[in-house]
Structure 1
Amino acid sequence: MKHLKFGVVALLVLFSVKLMAQENRLTVYPDEAKTKINKEIYGQFAEHLGHGIYGGIYVGENSDIPNIDGYRTDVVNALKAMKVSVIRWPGGCFADTYHWKDGIGPKDKRPSIVNVNWGGVTEDNSFGTNEFLDFCELVGAEPYISVNVGSGTVEEASQWVEYTTSNNDSPMTRLRKKNGRQDPWLVKYWGVGNESWGCGGNMTPDYYADLFNRFSTYMWGAQYKIASGPNSNDYNWTETVMKKAMRHPNLIQGLSLHYYTIAHNWSNKGDATGFNEDDWFASMKKTLYMDELIRRHSAIMDRYDPQKRVGLIVDEWGNWFNVEPGTNPGFLFQQNTMRDAVVAGVNLNIFNEHADRVKMANIAQMINVLQAVILTKDKQMVLTPTYYVYKMYSVHQDARLVPMNLKSASYTYKGDSIPAISSSASVKDGVLSITLCNLDPEKAESLECDIPGVNYKEASGKIVDGQSMESYNDFGKKPEVTMKDFAVAKPKNGKLNITLPAHSVVLVQLK
């Protein structure tokens, strides 16, 4: 009898273990992949803010920091290796105070300006339109220019498009050639204002929609015009702008969306380092809210644009924490940990899953500001955990989205629960790429992956992780977080078993 009891208990234990092992289950359907994941989803944002431009991208030709025509050599090489796809510039709030003609021509004759939005610093306009567009060519990125609607004019916007894109003989093309550029640049993307509900003019949606139509009408030569969209969950803004803009559907090709992950609240955003699991869980839960925002705004857009011709452009997103102690509060400099890496991976997975509507996304911001991929300090450069996630996820650029069904265990903390795993998948050139995030900071998760209909014979992997959820890379220290090889067993009978370490981001590739 004793042996029988032991046997029953053992069977129950084994059955329970088996159930636990099967709790996370992912089924992917590579044969059904159709929707393209635009490479522009992997975009960056570079505003005239803090050391994002000066010291981050640009140091000038006479700097003792190694440079290529004034652009930091280390930054140029890092962005190329990351396969940066598109860069948004000059803002942000800065865009609606920026007059582009101040930043062209001989540098010693350009007027200086005061950056009233960010720190009240004076800058000399040595980095302007020519410098930005040449930089994009240098690193292989598409440029995305935000025009000044808040304090600018229709004529100013129209002339900017003409200066950069026209090949006709005109005053603006002659001005461009006088400034040393004979052929026009390839500038496809144009933002018509920024946060027009806030720092871009504090407008009502009705007023802005009319203004957008006016500006867009006269921006001849601009291929892809992006309307200033809602702040987070302002669904009325989306409704109003889509309704008015779609009366003239040739005028609008994109609608922006801004949403930042604020762990707590705007008055106390929490610290980028030295945080606890309360802060971690809050960041993860609020990051997942991005999926709801995209679904609900997309549903509104679908009513006016059922063919999904107008792209949802998430051109500001990412973690926003308190600035680092001792730094200028107007420069928004923050460190970057494994928490940022997981937040980046989760957001990118969400954007991939909505690739039928999301056509571009730009993390805020590229260098030295908010959730940056790169930090610089004099001659030193640091690649952040977020950088390595972007480098890892570059496999998805212009690949086809693979439909999937994910059953995830819960990550439960203090009575609240969120999914423990986030994922997306794509296929390109016969290679299936699956990206996975473990949102649990303490517990590994085992995942069984089913791949019906396709017989993959080889498997490889990469991982971004650190010793703890607080791991980060700093100047003058050995990096704590990088991208490393990750051992993956070959798939057997169409199944693959993966164990995701706590607080990790993983890429699995099959062919």
Structure 2
Amino acid sequence: MSHESTRVVIDLDLPLSRISRHLYGHFAEHLGRCIYGGFFVGEDSDIPNEAGIRLDVVDALRELKIPNLRWPGGCFADDYHWRDGIGPVGERPRMVNSHWGDIVEDNSFGTHEFMQLCEMLGADAYVNGNVGSGTVREMSEWIEYLTRADDSPMAALRRANGRDEPWKVPFFGIGNEAWGCGGNMRAEAYTDLARQYATYVRDHGDNTVYRIAAGANTDDYRWTASLMKGLGCLGGCPGESSTPYQALSLHYYTMTGPWDSKGSATDFTDDEWYVALSRAFRIEELLTRHSTVMDGYDPDKRVGLVLDEWGTWWDVEEGTNPGFLYQQNTLRDALVASVHFDSFHRHSDRLVMANIAQTVNVLQAMLLTDPDTGALVKTPTFHVFEMNTGHHDAGALAAHVVGSESRHVDGRDLPLLSASASTKDGSALISLSNLDSSSARTVVLDLRGGDLGEVSARILTADDTAAHNTPQDPDRIAPVAHDGVRPHPRGLEVDLPAHSYVTVSVAIS
């Protein structure tokens, strides 16, 4: 392929919308070994911990500058009654986690433990309330317990349980997947409940809550329209000081097969490689079309879109509990993530938050912990998140790909090069994904509107598309410095090996 055949044109001096750091958010559900054995091992564990919270997990996630953490679910949220998770641990009632493994939950990780975890991580709390089996009063009292400073009943209860000062809770979810595990509701029925429940998730003191209604599954545009219509006159209505909820969510998972046969995380064909990436690329269509529906009601983009569940979903690893959703994580998963991030950057005018599912030991995890040895493994997806921290709160730059090849896969054309860019603090960060499983390519970065200074680059790749990290080989796939970047009359020339992810950082003036 000639050097001029593929270009990425970037106007360095024309930043668009801000890429919120919250697009790099995370999700921790009471599911499998995400909480217990993942984040939380208990104070009696031999694994170094603080109040039961694993310190190596915290240290690793700090590398990602984790902006927010969603908890306690997921489907678990609409079975969770928060009062069961406060007070002396030995006196907390148990419950059945009927969604995930049908196991008994002892509630030893509850509100105080989660908020301590967020403080240790330096992450904002995204608490998901219970609409499906809960009450308006229960949800209202939870936000009071969390955020009120005076001598109100719930603030007094919090102090009795050992926490004097209120916490900050900037994000609160009004139920989860109300169309499914959160109540099997119709769109209109849930819209009415979302208005009602959100009304009672009050701002206490100086804590301002961003309320997120449980939005659509994949391409259910009718659900999105119902929630937007339910907000009424967004410009301000007589007698209404604000909208009851400020955002709505969307869930979309990448898989290569149907629900009962999603495909293996590590044993896949070349065709399945491309199908997975094609289906990851579908996020562009979904964000575009849901945003278009929202634009019809809200052209000024006052209401946010939150993709608070996304990622790959494969068949569980052999010998593990099917309800625990434990899967390995390969280079393919890393490129699924990079494709999503490129789309997130393009839609950062409407998309205000995203949460990958899930942070530890579940689905497309950042970290895997070995249940026998306690060893911690960083996944390829972890490394993509880390390589992208420079995009946090940066100005999105349009990255126009010219001359890229594509491959017709699964009913759509899959571009074999994905790219995005941003600018912040006098530098630009450019992300490049070569989705071709077997062929390298050279790309010209056509950089306009600025003088280029120091350049550095990193690459994530391996000799095998199914490469993954294990306790025995924890760094089989990890980022290294990339020397395949050279000056070019148009800007820079970058070598992209087959199945690789590259970030290029450029000082600009």
- TM-score, shorter chain, exceeding 0.5: yes
Shift of 1:492: 4.3
User: In the alignment, what sits opposite 1:363?
Assistant: 356
User: In the alignment, what sits opposite 1:423?
Assistant: 419
User: In the alignment, what sits opposite 1:74?
Assistant: 56
Match of 2:107 among 125, 147, 150: 125
User: In the alignment, what sits opposite 1:441?
Assistant: 437
Runs of 5+ consecutive residues of structure 2 not aligned to the other structure:
234-239
Matched, 1:387 2:382: yes
Map residues 23-422 of structure 1 onto 2, 5 A cutoff: 23-221=5-203, 223-247=209-233, 249-378=242-371, 379-412=374-407, 417-422=413-418
Alpha-carbon displacement from aligned partner over 1:121-148 (angstroms, at most 9, x marks no partner): 1121010011001100101111101100
Q: Which amino acid aligns with 1:59?
A: V
Tell me, in whole angstroms, the C-alpha distance in 2 between the residues paired with 1:272 and 1:482: 18
Query: What is the percent sequence identity of the aligned residues?
Result: 47
Give the paired residue count.
493
Shift of 1:413: 6.3
Match of 1:472 among 468, 472, 480: 468
3-state SS of paired residue (1:457): strand
3-state SS of paired residue (2:290): helix
Shift in CA distance, 191/414, structure 1 to aligned 2, threshold 3 Å: closer
Shift in CA distance, 318/408, structure 1 to aligned 2, threshold 3 Å: farther
3-state SS of paired residue (2:216): coil
Shift in CA distance, 509/431, structure 1 to aligned 2, threshold 3 Å: same
3-state SS of paired residue (2:113): helix
3-state SS of paired residue (1:423): strand
Alpha-carbon displacement from aligned partner over 1:356-378 (angstroms, at most 9, x marks no partner): 00000000000000000100014
Tell me, in whole angstroms, the C-alpha distance in 1 between the residues paired with 2:491 and 2:424: 20
Name the stretch that deviates more: 220-229 or 365-374.
220-229
Shift of 1:478: 4.4
3-state SS of paired residue (1:279): helix
Shift of 1:481: 0.5
Runs of 5+ consecutive residues of structure 1 not aligned to the other structure:
1-16
3-state SS of paired residue (1:155): helix
Shift of 1:262: 1.4
**CA RMSD after TM alignment:** 1.4
Contact map agreement 1:338 1:470 (CA 8 A) in 2: yes
Q: TM-score, normalised by structure 1?
A: 0.94
3-state SS of paired residue (1:273): coil
Shift of 1:168: 2.5
3-state SS of paired residue (1:94): helix
Q: TM-score, normalised by structure 2?
A: 0.95
Shift of 1:402: 1.1
Contact map agreement 1:399 1:428 (CA 8 A) in 2: yes
Contact map agreement 1:457 1:491 (CA 8 A) in 2: no
Q: Which amino acid aligns with 2:112?
A: N
Contact map agreement 1:233 1:293 (CA 8 A) in 2: yes
Q: Which has the larger radius of gyration?
A: 1
Alpha-carbon displacement from aligned partner over 1:361-408 (angstroms, at most 9, x marks no partner): 000000000000100014211100000000001110011111221125
Tell me, in whole angstroms, the C-alpha distance in 1 between the residues paired with 2:328 and 2:299: 41
3-state SS of paired residue (2:19): coil
User: In the alignment, what sits opposite 2:236?
Assistant: none
Q: Which amino acid aligns with 2:216?
A: P
3-state SS of paired residue (1:339): helix
Q: Which amino acid aligns with 1:223?
A: V
Matched, 1:432 2:428: yes
